[in-house]
Protein backbone atom coordinates (compact mmCIF):
# COMPACT_ATOMS: atom_id res chain seq x y z
CA UNK A 1 0.00 0.00 0.00
CA UNK A 2 2.78 2.42 0.90
CA UNK A 3 4.69 1.51 -2.28
CA UNK A 4 1.57 2.12 -4.40
CA UNK A 5 0.95 5.43 -2.64
CA UNK A 6 4.54 6.55 -3.24
CA UNK A 7 4.24 5.61 -6.92
CA UNK A 8 0.99 7.58 -7.18
CA UNK A 9 2.62 10.56 -5.48
CA UNK A 10 5.58 10.40 -7.89
CA UNK A 11 3.15 10.28 -10.84
CA UNK A 12 1.16 13.23 -9.48
CA UNK A 13 4.30 15.33 -9.04
CA UNK A 14 6.15 14.43 -12.23
CA UNK A 15 3.62 12.92 -14.61
CA UNK A 16 5.68 9.69 -14.81
CA UNK A 17 6.01 6.57 -12.71
CA UNK A 18 9.44 5.94 -11.18
CA UNK A 19 11.59 3.37 -12.95
CA UNK A 20 12.04 0.04 -11.28
CA UNK A 21 14.48 -2.68 -12.19
CA UNK A 22 13.08 -5.72 -14.03
CA UNK A 23 13.11 -9.23 -12.55
CA UNK A 24 14.29 -12.03 -14.85
CA UNK A 25 13.77 -15.81 -14.91
CA UNK A 26 16.63 -17.90 -16.30
CA UNK A 27 15.92 -20.23 -19.21
CA UNK A 28 18.22 -23.03 -18.02
CA UNK A 29 17.92 -24.98 -21.27
CA UNK A 30 19.28 -22.04 -23.28
CA UNK A 31 21.90 -21.01 -20.68
CA UNK A 32 25.33 -22.41 -19.84
CA UNK A 33 27.89 -22.11 -17.05
CA UNK A 34 31.40 -23.46 -17.66
CA UNK A 35 34.80 -23.32 -15.99
CA UNK A 36 37.95 -23.66 -18.07
CA UNK A 37 41.55 -24.20 -17.06
CA UNK A 38 44.67 -25.81 -18.52
CA UNK A 39 46.08 -29.19 -17.52
CA UNK A 40 49.43 -30.26 -18.99
CA UNK A 41 49.04 -27.28 -21.35
CA UNK A 42 45.70 -28.50 -22.74
CA UNK A 43 42.35 -26.76 -22.25
CA UNK A 44 39.95 -28.58 -19.91
CA UNK A 45 36.34 -27.41 -19.51
CA UNK A 46 33.78 -28.37 -16.90
CA UNK A 47 30.13 -27.74 -17.76
CA UNK A 48 27.75 -27.21 -14.84
CA UNK A 49 24.24 -28.57 -15.35
CA UNK A 50 22.59 -27.08 -12.26
CA UNK A 51 22.52 -23.36 -11.55
CA UNK A 52 20.02 -20.72 -10.59
CA UNK A 53 19.87 -16.99 -10.05
CA UNK A 54 17.67 -14.22 -8.81
CA UNK A 55 18.28 -11.39 -11.26
CA UNK A 56 16.90 -7.87 -11.10
CA UNK A 57 18.24 -5.73 -13.94
CA UNK A 58 17.24 -2.72 -15.98
CA UNK A 59 19.94 -0.69 -17.77
CA UNK A 60 18.01 2.46 -16.80
CA UNK A 61 17.86 1.54 -13.10
CA UNK A 62 21.23 0.07 -12.09
CA UNK A 63 20.83 1.38 -8.54
CA UNK A 64 18.20 -1.31 -7.96
CA UNK A 65 19.91 -4.04 -9.99
CA UNK A 66 21.14 -7.19 -8.29
CA UNK A 67 22.32 -10.72 -8.97
CA UNK A 68 22.32 -13.62 -6.55
CA UNK A 69 23.54 -16.75 -8.34
CA UNK A 70 24.20 -20.33 -7.26
CA UNK A 71 25.97 -23.15 -9.08
CA UNK A 72 25.66 -26.69 -7.77
CA UNK A 73 29.27 -27.83 -7.31
CA UNK A 74 28.55 -31.50 -7.91
CA UNK A 75 26.84 -30.82 -11.26
CA UNK A 76 30.14 -30.05 -13.01
CA UNK A 77 31.02 -32.54 -15.76
CA UNK A 78 34.32 -33.10 -17.56
CA UNK A 79 34.49 -35.81 -20.27
CA UNK A 80 37.83 -37.15 -18.96
CA UNK A 81 37.12 -39.53 -16.01
CA UNK A 82 40.37 -38.74 -14.19
CA UNK A 83 39.75 -34.99 -14.38
CA UNK A 84 36.09 -35.49 -13.40
CA UNK A 85 37.19 -37.41 -10.32
CA UNK A 86 39.64 -34.62 -9.39
CA UNK A 87 36.93 -31.96 -9.87
CA UNK A 88 34.66 -33.48 -7.21
CA UNK A 89 37.44 -34.73 -4.92
CA UNK A 90 38.38 -33.37 -1.49
CA UNK A 91 41.06 -31.24 -3.23
CA UNK A 92 38.58 -30.15 -5.91
CA UNK A 93 35.19 -28.55 -5.40
CA UNK A 94 34.35 -31.17 -2.74
CA UNK A 95 30.57 -31.03 -3.26
CA UNK A 96 29.80 -33.43 -0.40
CA UNK A 97 31.01 -30.68 1.95
CA UNK A 98 30.43 -27.53 -0.17
CA UNK A 99 27.34 -28.04 -2.31
CA UNK A 100 27.27 -24.65 -4.03
CA UNK A 101 29.37 -21.84 -5.39
CA UNK A 102 27.58 -18.53 -4.76
CA UNK A 103 27.92 -15.04 -6.24
CA UNK A 104 26.03 -12.11 -4.71
CA UNK A 105 26.37 -8.65 -6.23
CA UNK A 106 26.72 -5.56 -4.11
CA UNK A 107 26.41 -3.23 -7.08
CA UNK A 108 26.09 -3.32 -10.85
CA UNK A 109 27.66 -0.52 -12.85
CA UNK A 110 27.84 0.45 -16.50
CA UNK A 111 31.25 0.34 -18.21
CA UNK A 112 32.53 1.25 -21.66
CA UNK A 113 32.21 -2.43 -22.68
CA UNK A 114 28.93 -3.29 -20.95
CA UNK A 115 28.46 -3.80 -17.22
CA UNK A 116 30.22 -5.07 -14.12
CA UNK A 117 28.57 -6.94 -11.28
CA UNK A 118 30.73 -6.27 -8.23
CA UNK A 119 30.21 -8.50 -5.23
CA UNK A 120 31.28 -11.59 -3.32
CA UNK A 121 32.09 -15.01 -4.76
CA UNK A 122 32.07 -17.97 -2.37
CA UNK A 123 33.57 -21.34 -3.35
CA UNK A 124 34.36 -24.12 -0.85
CA UNK A 125 33.36 -21.79 1.98
CA UNK A 126 35.99 -19.19 0.99
CA UNK A 127 34.60 -15.76 0.11
CA UNK A 128 36.44 -13.22 -2.06
CA UNK A 129 35.58 -9.94 -3.71
CA UNK A 130 34.80 -10.54 -7.37
CA UNK A 131 34.03 -8.42 -10.41
CA UNK A 132 32.01 -10.07 -13.18
CA UNK A 133 32.19 -8.13 -16.45
CA UNK A 134 29.23 -8.88 -18.72
CA UNK A 135 27.30 -7.73 -21.73
CA UNK A 136 23.56 -8.02 -22.16
CA UNK A 137 21.15 -7.58 -25.03
CA UNK A 138 17.47 -7.14 -24.21
CA UNK A 139 14.77 -7.50 -26.83
CA UNK A 140 11.06 -8.34 -26.60
CA UNK A 141 11.23 -9.41 -22.96
CA UNK A 142 14.27 -11.67 -23.49
CA UNK A 143 17.75 -10.94 -22.13
CA UNK A 144 20.91 -12.62 -23.41
CA UNK A 145 23.98 -12.04 -21.26
CA UNK A 146 27.60 -13.11 -21.69
CA UNK A 147 30.09 -12.88 -18.85
CA UNK A 148 33.60 -14.03 -18.03
CA UNK A 149 35.22 -14.16 -14.62
CA UNK A 150 38.87 -15.06 -14.05
CA UNK A 151 39.64 -16.56 -10.64
CA UNK A 152 42.67 -18.06 -8.92
CA UNK A 153 41.72 -21.52 -7.69
CA UNK A 154 44.11 -21.31 -4.71
CA UNK A 155 42.10 -18.32 -3.40
CA UNK A 156 39.26 -20.78 -2.83
CA UNK A 157 41.31 -23.74 -1.61
CA UNK A 158 40.92 -25.70 -4.85
CA UNK A 159 43.83 -27.98 -5.72
CA UNK A 160 46.38 -30.06 -3.90
CA UNK A 161 49.87 -31.47 -4.33
CA UNK A 162 48.73 -33.65 -7.24
CA UNK A 163 47.49 -30.57 -9.09
CA UNK A 164 50.98 -29.30 -10.03
CA UNK A 165 50.20 -29.47 -13.76
CA UNK A 166 46.90 -27.60 -13.42
CA UNK A 167 47.03 -23.89 -14.25
CA UNK A 168 46.51 -21.58 -11.26
CA UNK A 169 43.70 -19.66 -12.96
CA UNK A 170 40.21 -20.74 -13.94
CA UNK A 171 37.99 -18.86 -16.39
CA UNK A 172 34.29 -19.03 -15.56
CA UNK A 173 32.14 -18.34 -18.61
CA UNK A 174 28.45 -17.54 -18.44
CA UNK A 175 25.89 -17.54 -21.22
CA UNK A 176 22.58 -16.66 -19.61
CA UNK A 177 19.25 -16.31 -21.36
CA UNK A 178 16.34 -15.06 -19.29
CA UNK A 179 12.78 -13.91 -19.70
CA UNK A 180 11.19 -10.87 -18.08
CA UNK A 181 9.03 -11.84 -15.16
**Model confidence over 63-119: pLDDT tens digits?**
999 999 999 999 999 999 999 999 999 999 999 999 999 999 999 999 999 999 999
The CATH number of 19-180 is which of 3.40.366.10, 2.40.128.110, 3.40.50.2000, 3.40.50.300? Answer: 2.40.128.110
CA distance 116 to 133: 4
- What is the end-to-end Cα distance of the chain in Å, rounded? 21
77 Cβ contact list (under 8 Å, min separation 6): 46, 47, 48, 49, 84
pLDDT per residue as tens digits for the range 122-149: 999 999 999 999 999 999 999 999 999 9
Instruction: Give the pairing type, strands 114-123 and 100-111.
Output: antiparallel
Residues 6+ away with beta carbon under 8 Å from 105: 65, 66, 67, 68, 117, 118, 119, 132
Report pLDDT for 2.
38
> Structural domain boundaries of the chain?
19-180
pTM metric for this prediction: 0.87
State how far the alpha carbon of 122 is from the alpha carbons of 25, 30, 59, 97, 99, in Å: 22, 25, 26, 13, 11
Amino acid sequence: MIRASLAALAFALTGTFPLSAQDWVIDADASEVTAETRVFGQSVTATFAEFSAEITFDPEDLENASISARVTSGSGAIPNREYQSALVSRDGLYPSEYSEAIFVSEEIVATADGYEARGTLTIRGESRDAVLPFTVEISDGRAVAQGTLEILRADFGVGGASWAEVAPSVTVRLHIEADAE
